[in-house]
Amino acid sequence: MAEPLTVRLDARLAEAGSSVAVEGVIAEDDYVVGDRVFTVPDGIAFDLDVTNTGETVLCMGSVEAELIGTCDRCLEEARLNLTGEVDAIFADDPDAFSEDLDSDVEVLPIVEDAIDLAPVVRAAIAVEIPFKVLCREDCKGLCPHCGANLNEGDCGCEARLAAEGDPMNPMSVLRALKSSEDPEAES
């Protein structure tokens, strides 16, 4: 499904210290992260520098994408504008190189003198997805009683349940307390 984004380690990157800029957009259809599914209508834009360090190939830069998913509270559309950082290392023998590396950065393989940047671009966006996906910061969510979207207005359930004396509603408990203390309070 996922298209590779291949950069050939050709003459441009033959010498240690040489670097090439790679920019463009990766098209995405359904972008699945955990149990969430997003659409990415404009794809993931990337602006990267690929550098031959002599021993490895380094890829650093930034990525940007708009993800469209579902709000965790109201189930309406949620749009996320995300930017992320890429910091990846490629080596001929990733396992051998990882052992020498004094960090937990993942080392990816160089395959037939080429590297695939698609996984690092996708991962850089995936880590930026917030734990809670919301249509807006202060989304009011759905009414637990009738299921109305509270962003579109008050469904009236809170007031109705308070008036009916719902024992689960803190407002009605308060009213009951007040009226038993002072009979005039509810007049």
**Chain residues in the site for Zn ion (CB under 5 A):** 71, 73-74, 135, 139, 143, 145-146, 148, 155, 157
CB of 155 or CB of 171, closer to Zn ion:
155
Taking the complex as a whole, how short is the minimal distance between the CB of residue 72 and Zn ion, in angstroms?
A: 7
- Whether 91 contacts 70, CB under 8 Å: no
DSSP codes of every residue in 84-124: EEEEEEEESSHHHHHHH-SS-PPEEEPBTTEEE-HHHHHHH
Closer to Zn ion at the Cβ: 128 or 158? 158
CB nearer to Zn ion: give 52 or 169.
Answer: 169
The distance of closest approach from Cβ of residue 152 to Zn ion in the complex, given in angstroms and rounded to an integer, is 11
44 vs 67 by CB, closer to Zn ion:
67
Shortest Å distance, C-beta 112 to Zn ion: 47
Smallest separation (angstroms) from Zn ion to the CB of 100: 47
Smallest distance, Zn ion to C-beta of residue 148, A: 5
User: Residue 61: which of 92, 23, 25, 27 has the closest Cα?
Assistant: 23
Q: Count how many Cα atoms sit within 13 Å of the Cα of residue 93 in the half-sphere of its side chain.
A: 4
Q: Are 49 and 61 in contact (CB under 8 A)?
A: yes
CB nearer Zn ion, residue 82 or residue 86: 82
| Cβ(48)–Cβ(60) below 8 Å | yes
* Closest separation in Å from C-beta 77 to Zn ion: 9
Q: Report the SS3 class of residue 41.
A: coil
Structure tokens at 96: 């051998």
Exposed, middle or buried: residue 88 (CB in 10 Å: 0-12, 13-18, 19+)?
Answer: buried
| CB nearer to Zn ion: pick between 22 and 143 | 143
Stated length of the chain: 187
